[in-house]
C-alpha cells in the first residue's frame, strides 16, 4: 500500500516555542488518521504545515512520494492536490454557496463553468444542500456552512483531505450532520487526516489514532488500542479528563 502522505521528523517552532518535535507520520491511501490531543498540542499546526500554510523548520513532508517541504516547490500546485477544512468554515461571504464551491474548479483547475456547476450541484444534492445553492453563507446554519466548506474542498477531487476540528464551532445537534458527511467520505475511500475532539467519532472512522502531546505523537494505534486501552500515562491522563467532561 502506498503512502499518500509521509512526514519524517518534522520540526516547527513559533519563536522560542517548539510546536512540533521531530514528528513522523505515514498516511496510506484510503485511510483516515485521527489526531487527538489537548488544545495547543500541535494538531492544527501539523495540518497547516502539511498544507504549506506554515513552513517547517526541519524534517521532510512527502505527498505521493514527492517532497513538498522543498522551498523550490510550487506551493499552489501542491495545494491543488490537498483539501483543507477549517474549524471556522471560512466560506467567502460575498459569494453564493455554488460560487464558493466552483471558484477553485473554475479558476484553478480550468474547468468550464457548466462542468463545475454540475459537479457542485451533484455534491450539494448528495449532502442534502441542493436547495441552498444560490444562498449566501450567512443565511445558513453552522452545520450547513461547514458541510458547504467540506464540499468546497471536495470539489477539486483532492488526494488528501485535512479536517481541522471541523465540529468545534458547532452545537451538539449540528455536529452530527457534519460528522455523518465525513463518514460518507470515509466510506468513499477518501484519504483523510482529521484533528478532532469527538472521541466517539474517532472510534468510528479512524484507521489510526495518534495522540499528540506537546508536539509529539506519544501514542499511536487503532482507535480501540489508543482510546480504550491506552498504554502511555499521558494518553491515560488525557482520556480521563475527556471522560470526566462527558465527551467519550
Measured distance CA(39)–CA(242) in Å, rounded? 12
- Residues 166 and 83: beta-carbon distance below 8 Å: no
In the complex, the smallest distance separating the C-beta of residue 11 from another protein, rounded to whole angstroms, is 22
CB of 73 to another protein, least distance (A): 13
Residue 59 parent element (H or E): strand 58-63
Find the distance separating the first CA and the last CA of the chain, reported in whole Å: 32
The count of chain residues that interact with another protein, using the rule CB under 8 A, is 24
Residue 86 or 211 with smaller CB distance to another protein? 86
Q: Does 153 bind another protein (CB under 8 A)?
A: yes
Residue 134 or 246: which CB sits closer to another protein? 134
Q: Tell me: does residue 14 bind another protein (CB under 8 A).
A: no
d(CA 17, CA 110): 41
Task: Judge contact between 219 and 235, C-beta under 8 A.
Answer: yes
Contact flag: residue 108 with another protein (CB under 8 A): yes
| Region 74-93 residues binding another protein, contact defined as CB under 8 A | 76-77, 79-80, 82-84, 86, 88, 90-93
45 binds another protein (CB under 8 A): no
Runs of H (alpha helix) within the chain: 43-50, 75-79, 97-107, 113-126, 142-154, 172-188, 199-205, 223, 233-244
Residues that bind another protein (CB under 8 A): 51, 53, 76-77, 79-80, 82-84, 86, 88, 90-94, 103-104, 107-109, 152-153, 156
Amino acid at each position: 500500500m502506498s503512502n499518500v502522505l509521509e512526514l519524517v521528523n518534522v520540526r516547527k517552532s513559533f519563536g522560542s516555542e517548539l510546536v512540533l518535535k521531530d514528528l513522523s507520520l505515514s498516511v496510506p491511501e484510503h485511510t483516515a488518521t485521527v489526531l487527538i490531543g489537548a488544545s495547543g498540542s500541535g494538531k492544527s499546526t501539523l495540518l497547516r504545515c502539511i498544507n504549506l500554510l506554515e513552513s517547517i523548520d526541519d524534517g521532510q513532508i512527502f505527498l505521493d512520494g514527492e517532497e513538498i517541504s522543498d522551498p523550490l516547490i510550487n506551493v499552489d500546485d501542491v495545494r491543488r492536490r490537498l483539501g483543507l477544512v477549517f474549524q471556522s468554515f471560512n466560506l467567502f461571504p460575498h459569494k453564493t454557496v455554488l460560487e464558493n464551491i466552483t471558484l477553485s474548479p473554475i479558476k484553478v483547475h480550468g474547468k468550464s463553468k457548466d462542468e463545475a456547476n454540475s459537479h457542485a450541484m451533484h455534491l450539494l444534492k448528495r449532502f442534502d444542500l441542493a436547495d441552498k445553492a444560490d444562498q449566501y453563507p450567512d443565511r445558513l446554519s453552522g452545520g450547513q456552512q461547514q458541510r458547504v466548506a467540506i464540499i468546497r474542498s471536495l470539489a477539486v477531487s483532492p488526494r488528501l483531505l485535512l479536517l481541522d476540528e471541523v465540529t468545534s464551532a458547532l452545537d451538539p445537534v449540528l455536529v452530527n450532520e457534519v460528522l455523518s458527511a465525513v463518514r460518507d467520505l470515509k466510506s468513499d475511500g477518501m484519504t483523510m487526516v482529521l484533528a478532532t475532539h469527538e472521541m466517539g467519532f474517532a472510534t468510528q472512522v479512524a484507521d489510526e489514532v495518534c495522540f499528540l502531546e506537546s508536539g509529539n505523537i506519544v501514542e499511536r494505534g487503532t482507535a480501540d488500542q489508543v482510546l480504550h486501552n491506552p498504554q502511555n500515562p499521558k494518553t491515560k491522563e488525557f482520556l480521563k479528563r475527556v471522560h470526566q467532561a462527558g465527551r467519550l
